[in-house]
Amino acid sequence: MPPRNGMWGSFLRFKGFKEVHLPDTCPDCYTVRQFCQDYPIGKYMLATGTHVVAVIDGNYYDTWDSGDEIPISFWRKEN
C-alpha cells in the first residue's frame, strides 16, 4: 500500500469503501482485536494513523501481530 493515508484512501473510495472515524483517545478507544470481535462479518481496512490492517470476517491480516494497535478509522466495503 502507498505510505500516505490520502493515497490509499482515494483508492479504497474508488473501490466502493466508505470511511468511518473512531475515537482514538482512551477510554473510548479500542484495539484492532476488539474491532474484529465487534465486526465479525464484512471486509474492512483499519487505519492506525501510520499503518493499515485488513480485516475480513472478524480476522485481521497483517505482516505482524497488530491486534493491540488502536485504529483511528476504518473503511467498510459497501456491497
| pLDDT at residue 4, rounded to an integer | 56
Q: pLDDT by residue (tens digit) across 29-70?
A: 889 999 999 999 999 999 987 888 999 999 999 999 999 999
Instruction: Select from 2, 15, 68, 64 the least CA-distant residue to 44.
Output: 15
Q: Where are the domains of the chain?
A: 5-77
- Could you tell me where the beta strands, DSSP code E, fall in 1-79? 17-21, 43-47, 52-56, 59-61, 73-77
pTM > 0.95: yes or no? no
| pLDDT at residue 79, rounded to an integer | 66
Q: pLDDT by residue (tens digit) across 5-34?
A: 667 788 888 988 899 998 877 877 889 999
